C-alpha cells in the first residue's frame, strides 16, 4: 500500500460535499463581510466628527509631501511594533498568560490545535488538487502532526469545560454559546479521529502508529465489515460538523480569532494631529431612521471602537480589575462592550442599506439593543481594563463616545456635572464661578507671572483643581518653594490660565474641550510657551497625548527661554524640515514628579530632614497607566532619609483608581462601596503611616476616604511635593 493520503475513501457523492463546502465557505465570507462592513461604518461616516477647531495648527507651514516624507519611518516603526504585538500577544499569548497561566495554556492548546488542523486541511486540499506532496515520510510526519494537534485541541477544550462548569471561575459568564462552541469543536476533532479509526479498522497500512488517534478508535470495531458499513455515515457526520462550524464561525465568538489580531496590531490609539479626529462613525440605523439608543444622535463609534467590539471574547478580566465593577457598582466594562457590539451590529447592519430589507425586514424588528445609558457615567477612565485585556480592548474610549451622545441629548446628565460644565464654559474652570480666584493659591508666596512681563525658562501649569481647592493648593505652594530652592526659573500664566479641557474631554463634551484647547494653545502661542510642568497628571496627559501638539513639520522653536515681554501675535510658523524628518512636538510637557526626579539627579535638591515613617505610594492612573511614569515618584520618595517605602498589593500598572477621574468628581453615583475607601483600606493594610500621591484628585479623594472609612485618623495622605518639601526643610509652616 502506498504511503499517501487517501481522499474520499468509499465516498460516492463527492459533488454533494463540494456543493455543501461551497455554501459553507460562502456563508463564512458573508459573515466576515458583515463584520468588516460594520467596522467600515466609521469610515463611511467620515473620520472627522467634530468641528474643525484648530485644524491646521499641527500642520502649520508644511507641505503634504514633506509630511508624507516624515510619516514613512514612523509608519514603518508602527507597523513593526504592531506585528511584534501580534506575535507576542496574539500567537504566543503574552497577555493571556499574565495573571492566569492556566487560562493562557488552555487558550494556547485550543488556538494552536485549531490552527494546526486548519493548516492541515488547507495542505490536504493543495495536495489533492494542485501539487501532490503528501507521500512517504512526509505524509507520515504530516499525519502524526495532525493527530497531535487534534489531541492538543481536545485537551484545551477539556480544560475549558472544567474551568467553566466544574471549577466555575467567577469571571467567566456562561452563555449557551460558550458550551455550544466547546462541544462543537470537540465533536469536529473526535469525529475526525473516528473517520481515521474506522478506515484503519478496515485496512491497517503498517504505519498506523503515525495516526495514533485513529488507532484508538479502530479498536472499537469488532469486524472490518461493520467498519466499512458505518464509514460513510461517520465521514458525512464529520464533514457536516466541520462545514457547519465554518459557516457558523463569523457569527459566533470564534470570530474574535480574526478580529483580535487586527485590534492587537492597531493597539495604541493614535494621538490626534488635529482637533475633531475622533473617527466618528456613521449614524446608520435599521430602517434608516435615527439610531435607537434612546438618544437623539446615538453614539458615533470610531473604527477602532468597532474593531474592539468584535475582538472581545467576554473573558471578564476587565471586570475583575475595574474599580467600579469591583466596588459592586451597577457597571461592568464587559457588559458595556457586549451591549455596544449588539447595538452596532444592528445599527450598522449592511442589509439595512438595501431598500427591500430596510422596508420589509427592519421595520418589523421591534428594537435595536440598548446601551444602558446609566452605566456609562461610572467609568473613571482609569485604563485598568486595557491593561489586562488580552486583546487590548479599553472600554473607556467607546464609553466617551456614548457620553458624547448623552451630552448632546442633555437630559440624562447629572445636574452636578452640568453645573461644572457650565462653570467651565463661563469661568474657564469647573470649580468656582470666578476667574479672579485662580491667582489666589500662592498666598504670601511670590510667583512670577508670564502674562505680566516676567521672564522664565519654564511655565508651571497649575491646573484648576490645584488653583481652586484649598487642600490641593498646599502642594502647589510646596512645589514653588522646591523650585526656588533648586534655582529653577519659572513662571505661571496667573489669572489668564484656563482649564486645559480634561473634564470636558472625559465626559464627552467635545465642543467645550475644543474651545479649551483653542484657548490654551492660544496662550502657549501668545506667551511663547514651549516647556511646561504640570501639577496634575490629568493636565499632563491631556496636553502631552491628546492635544494637537505634533507638528508634522518643523523644529521645536529654538531654546526654552521664554518671555512674556513681547508676545508674538500668532504662533510661530516652523520652517520646513529636512526630508524624512519625524513629526516634532510643539512643546514639551512634564509632570512635576519627573522634574523633581531630574532635579534630584542633578543634585539641585538635597533632602536632608529625616522623615521616619513607612510610606506607600498611590499611582495616579493618568501618571502611571496612561504615561508609564511609575519610577520617578518612587525615586523621589526613596531619596528622603528615614523613609521606608512599602507597596500596596495593587501598584504600578495594577494600581487601583481613587475614583476621582472620568468626571466622577462632579457626580454622585449610587454604589455599594466608595472606590476611594476601597483604595485607602488597601493602603492602611500595608501598615503605612503616610499615603503619598501625585495628583490633586487622588489627594482630595483619599484624604476624604480616611475620614469616611472609619480608619485610624493618624494615617496621613500627602502629596509628593509636601513630603519632599518637608525633607528639604521647606514645609508650609517652615517656609
Ligand atoms: S474587553 Fe477584553 S478583558 Fe474585557 S471581556 Fe472583552 S476580551 Fe475580556
Ligand atoms: S477605564 Fe477603569 S473604570 Fe472605566 S471601564 Fe476600564 S477599568 Fe472600569
Establish if 688 belongs to a structural domain: yes
The CB density around residue 443, as the number of other CB atoms within 10 Å, is: 12
The CB density around residue 81, as the number of other CB atoms within 10 Å, is: 13
Whether residues 489 and 461 share a domain: the answer is yes
pLDDT at residue number 560 = 34
CA–CA separation, 20 vs 680, rounded Å? Answer: 62
Establish if 214 belongs to a structural domain: yes
Is residue 62 scored above 50 in pLDDT?
no
Of 374, 409, 444, the last residue of a domain is 409
CB 683 within 8 A of CB 691: yes
Whether residues 355 and 467 share a domain: the answer is no
Q: How confident is the model at residue 268 (pLDDT cuts 50, 70, 90)?
A: confident
Task: Identify which of 320, 324, 430, 294 has the alpha carbon closest to the alpha carbon of residue 100.
Answer: 320
Average pLDDT, the chain: 85
Q: How far is the CA of 250 from the centre of ligand 2 (A)?
A: 28
Whether residues 485 and 530 share a domain: the answer is yes
Whether residues 23 and 152 share a domain: the answer is yes
Whether residues 393 and 472 share a domain: the answer is no
Whether residues 220 and 98 share a domain: the answer is yes
Establish if 733 belongs to a structural domain: no
CA–CA separation, 39 vs 304, rounded Å? Answer: 8
Q: Is the minimum distance from the CB of 379 to ligand 2 under 6 angstroms?
A: yes
CA–CA separation, 578 vs 555, rounded Å? Answer: 10
Establish if 1 belongs to a structural domain: no
Question: What does DSSP assign to residue 429?
Answer: S
CATH number of the domain within which 100 lies: 1.20.950.20
Whether residues 231 and 340 share a domain: the answer is no
CA–CA separation, 675 vs 677, rounded Å? Answer: 5
The CB density around residue 338, as the number of other CB atoms within 10 Å, is: 18
Q: Is the minimum distance from the CB of 398 to ligand 2 under 6 angstroms?
A: no
- Ligand nearest the Cα of residue 99 is 1
Q: Which of 171, 312, 336 to mutate to test the pocket of ligand 1 (most atoms within 8 A of CB)?
A: 312
Q: Is the minimum distance from the CB of 318 to ligand 1 under 6 angstroms?
A: yes
Q: Which of 261, 318, 319, 332 to mutate to test the pocket of ligand 1 (most atoms within 8 A of CB)?
A: 318
- Ligand nearest the Cα of residue 322 is 2
Establish if 590 belongs to a structural domain: yes
CATH number of the domain within which 366 lies: 1.10.1060
pLDDT at residue number 466 = 97
Whether residues 174 and 74 share a domain: the answer is yes
Task: Identify which of 502, 301, 298 has the alpha carbon closest to the alpha carbon of residue 407.
Answer: 298
pLDDT per residue over 353-364, tens digit each? 777 776 666 655
pLDDT at residue number 584 = 54
Task: Identify which of 330, 291, 297, 333 has the alpha carbon closest to the alpha carbon of residue 314.
Answer: 333
Whether residues 178 and 86 share a domain: the answer is yes
- Ligand nearest the Cα of residue 663 is 2
Q: How far is the CA of 532 from the centre of ligand 1 (A)?
A: 36
Establish if 8 belongs to a structural domain: no
Q: Is the minimum distance from the CB of 385 to ligand 2 under 6 angstroms?
A: yes
Of 595, 626, 655, the last residue of a domain is 595
Average of per-residue pLDDT across 24-47? 85
Q: How many domains does the chain have?
A: 4
Of 409, 437, 457, the last residue of a domain is 409
CA–CA separation, 345 vs 286, rounded Å? Answer: 10
Task: Identify which of 255, 233, 256 has the alpha carbon closest to the alpha carbon of residue 245.
Answer: 255
CA–CA separation, 683 vs 633, rounded Å? Answer: 17
Q: Is the minimum distance from the CB of 38 to ligand 1 under 6 angstroms?
A: no
Burial class (CB in 10 A: 0-12, 13-18, 19+), 75: exposed
In sequence order, what are the residues at sequence separation of 6 or more whose Cβ sits closer than 8 angstroms to the Cβ of residue 322?
A: 331, 332, 333, 379, 382, 384, 385, 395
In this structure, the residue with its CA closest to atom 6 of ligand 1 is: 312
Looking at ligand 1, which atom is closest to the CA of residue 319?
A: 4
pLDDT per residue over 593-646, tens digit each? 999 999 999 999 999 999 999 999 999 999 999 999 999 999 999 999 999 999
Is residue 285 scored above 70 in pLDDT?
no
CB 642 within 8 A of CB 611: yes
Establish if 540 belongs to a structural domain: yes
Lowest mean pLDDT among 78-87, 360-369, 499-508: 360-369
Whether residues 101 and 198 share a domain: the answer is yes
Q: Is the minimum distance from the CB of 337 to ligand 1 under 6 angstroms?
A: yes
pTM of the model: 0.86
Q: Is the minimum distance from the CB of 384 to ligand 1 under 6 angstroms?
A: no
Establish if 6 belongs to a structural domain: no
For 575-629, the DSSP string reads PPPPTTPPPEESSEEEEHHHHHHHHHHHTS----S---EEEEEPPPTTTTTTT--
- Ligand nearest the Cα of residue 396 is 2
Q: Tell me the three-class secondary structure of 187-233, residue by residue.
A: HHHHHHHHHHHHHHHHCCCCCHHHHHHHHHHHCCCCCHHHHHHHHHH
Question: What does DSSP assign to residue 672?
Answer: S
Burial class (CB in 10 A: 0-12, 13-18, 19+), 195: buried
Q: Is the minimum distance from the CB of 313 to ligand 1 under 6 angstroms?
A: yes
Instruction: Name the one residue in this structure whose C-alpha cell is 514651549.
Output: 530
Q: Which of 650, 657, 661, 676 to mutate to test the pocket of ligand 2 (most atoms within 8 A of CB)?
A: 657
Whether residues 685 and 585 share a domain: the answer is no
Q: How confident is the model at residue 209 (pLDDT cuts 50, 70, 90)?
A: confident
Whether residues 122 and 45 share a domain: the answer is yes
Q: Cell digits for 294?
A: 434612546
Domain that holds residue 616: 605-727
Q: Which residues on adjacent β-strands are paired with residue 456?
A: 562
The CB density around residue 68, as the number of other CB atoms within 10 Å, is: 12
CATH number of the domain within which 706 lies: 3.40.50.10700
Q: Is the minimum distance from the CB of 325 to ligand 1 under 6 angstroms?
A: no
Is residue 441 scored above 80 in pLDDT?
yes
Q: Which of 323, 376, 385 to mutate to test the pocket of ligand 2 (most atoms within 8 A of CB)?
A: 385
Lowest mean pLDDT among 82-96, 257-271, 516-530, 610-624: 257-271
In sequence order, what are the residues at sequence separation of 6 or more whose Cβ sits closer than 8 angstroms to the Cβ of residue 647?
A: 616, 617, 686
Lowest mean pLDDT among 320-329, 576-585, 621-630, 651-660: 576-585
Amino acid at each position: 500500500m502506498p504511503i499517501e493520503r487517501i481522499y474520499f475513501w468509499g465516498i460516492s457523492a463527492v459533488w454533494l460535499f463540494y456543493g455543501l463546502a461551497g455554501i459553507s465557505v460562502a456563508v463564512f465570507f458573508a459573515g466576515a463581510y458583515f463584520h468588516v462592513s460594520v467596522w467600515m461604518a466609521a469610515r463611511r461616516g467620515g473620520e472627522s466628527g467634530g468641528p474643525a477647531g484648530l485644524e491646521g495648527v499641527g500642520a502649520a507651514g508644511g507641505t503634504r509631501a514633506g509630511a508624507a516624507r516624515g510619516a514613512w519611518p514612523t509608519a514603518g516603526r508602527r507597523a513593526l511594533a504592531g506585528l511584534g504585538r501580534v506575535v507576542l500577544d496574539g500567537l504566543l499569548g503574552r497577555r493571556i498568560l499574565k495573571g492566569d497561566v492556566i487560562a493562557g495554556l488552555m487558550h494556547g492548546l485550543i488556538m494552536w490545535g485549531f490552527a494546526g488542523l486548519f493548516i492541515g486541511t488547507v495542505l490536504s486540499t493543495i495536495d489533492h488538487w494542485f501539487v501532490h506532496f503528501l507521500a512517504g515520510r512526509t505524509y507520515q510526519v504530516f499525519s502524526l502532526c495532525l493527530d497531535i494537534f487534534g489531541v492538543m485541541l481536545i485537551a484545551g477544550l477539556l480544560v475549558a469545560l472544567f474551568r467553566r462548569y466544574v471549577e466555575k471561575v467567577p469571571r467567566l459568564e456562561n452563555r449557551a454559546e460558550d458550551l455550544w462552541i466547546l462541544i462543537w469543536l470537540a465533536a469536529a476533532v473526535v469525529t475526525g479521529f473516528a473517520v481515521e479509526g474506522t478506515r484503519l479498522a478496515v485496512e491497517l497500512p503498517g504505519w498506523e502508529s503515525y495516526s495514533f488517534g485513529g488507532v484508538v478508535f479502530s479498536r472499537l470495531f469488532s469486524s472490518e465489515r461493520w467498519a466499512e458499513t458505518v464509514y460513510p455515515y461517520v465521514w458525512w457526520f464529520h464533514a457536516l460538523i466541520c462545514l457547519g462550524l465554518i459557516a457558523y464561525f463569523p457569527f459566533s465568538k470564534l470570530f474574535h480569532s480574526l478580529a483580535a489580531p487586527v485590534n492587537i496590531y492597531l493597539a495604541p490609539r493614535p494621538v490626534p494631529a488635529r482637533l475633531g479626529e475622533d473617527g466618528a462613525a456613521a449614524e446608520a440605523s435599521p430602517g434608516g431612521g435615527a439610531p435607537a439608543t434612546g438618544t437623539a444622535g446615538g453614539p458615533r463609534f470610531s473604527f477602532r471602537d468597532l474593531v474592539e467590539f468584535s475582538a472581545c471574547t467576554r473573558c471578564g478580566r476587565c471586570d475583575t480589575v475595574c474599580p467600579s465593577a469591583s466596588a459592586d457598582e451597577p457597571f461592568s466594562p464587559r457588559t458595556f462592550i457586549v451591549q455596544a457590539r449588539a447595538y452596532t451590529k444592528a445599527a450598522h447592519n449592511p442589509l439595512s442599506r438595501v431598500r427591500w430589507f430596510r422596508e420589509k425586514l427592519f421595520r418589523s424588528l421591534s428594537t435595536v439593543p440598548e446601551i444602558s445609558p446609566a452605566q456609562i457615567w461610572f467609568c473613571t477612565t482609569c485604563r485598568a481594563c486595557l491593561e489586562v485585556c488580552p486583546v487590548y480592548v479599553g472600554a473607556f474610549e467607546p464609553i466617551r463616545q456614548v457620553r458624547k451622545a448623552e451630552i448632546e441629548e442633555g437630559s440624562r446628565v447629572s445636574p452636578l456635572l452640568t453645573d461644572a460644565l457650565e462653570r467651565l464654559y463661563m469661568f474657564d474652570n469647573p470649580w468656582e464661578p470666578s476667574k479672579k480666584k485662580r491667582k489666589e493659591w500662592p498666598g504670601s508666596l511670590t510667583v512670577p507671572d508670564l502674562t505680566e512681563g516676567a521672564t522664565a525658562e519654564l511655565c508651571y501649569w497649575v491646573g484648576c483643581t490645584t488653583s481652586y481647592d484649598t487642600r490641593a493648593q498646599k502642594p502647589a505652594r510646596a512645589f514653588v518653594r522646591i523650585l526656588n530652592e533648586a534655582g529653577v526659573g519659572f513662571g505661571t500664566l496667573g489669572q489668564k490660565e484656563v482649564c486645559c479641557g480634561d473634564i470636558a474631554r472625559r465626559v464627552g463634551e467635545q465642543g467645550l474641550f475644543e474651545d479649551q484647547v483653542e484657548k490654551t494653545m492660544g496662550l502657549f502661542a501668545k506667551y511663547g510657551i514651549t516647556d511646561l510642568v504640570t501639577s496634575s497628571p490629568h493636565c499632563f496627559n491631556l496636553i502631552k497625548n491628546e492635544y494637537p501638539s505634533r507638528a508634522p513639520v518643523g523644529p521645536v522653536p529654538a531654546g526654552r527661554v521664554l518671555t512674556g515681554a513681547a508676545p508674538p501675535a500668532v504662533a510661530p510658523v516652523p520652517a520646513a524640515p529636512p526630508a524624512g524628518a519625524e513629526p516634532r512636538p510643539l512643546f514639551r510637557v512634564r509632570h512635576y514628579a519627573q522634574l523633581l526626579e531630574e532635579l534630584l539627579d542633578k543634585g539641585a535638591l538635597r533632602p536632608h530632614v529625616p522623615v521616619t515613617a513607612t510610606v506607600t505610594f498611590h499611582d495616579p492612573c493618568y501618571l502611571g497607566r496612561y504615561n508609564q511614569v511609575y519610577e520617578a515618584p518612587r525615586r523621589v520618595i526613596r531619596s528622603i532619609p528615614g523613609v521606608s517605602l512599602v507597596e500596596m498589593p495593587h501598584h504600578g500598572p495594577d494600581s487601583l483608581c481613587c475614583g476621582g477621574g472620568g468626571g466622577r468628581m462632579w457626580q454622585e453615583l449610587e454604589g455599594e462601596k466608595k472606590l476611594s475607601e476601597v483604595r485607602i483600606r488597601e493602603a492602611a493594610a500595608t501598615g503605612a503611616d503616610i499615603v503619598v500621591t501625585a495628583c490633586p484628585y487622588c489627594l482630595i479623594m483619599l484624604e476624604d476616604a480616611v475620614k469616611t472609612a472609619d480608619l485610624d485618623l493618624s494615617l496621613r495622605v500627602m502629596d509628593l511635593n509636601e513630603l519632599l518639601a518637608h525633607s528639604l526643610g521647606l514645609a508650609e509652616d517652615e517656609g
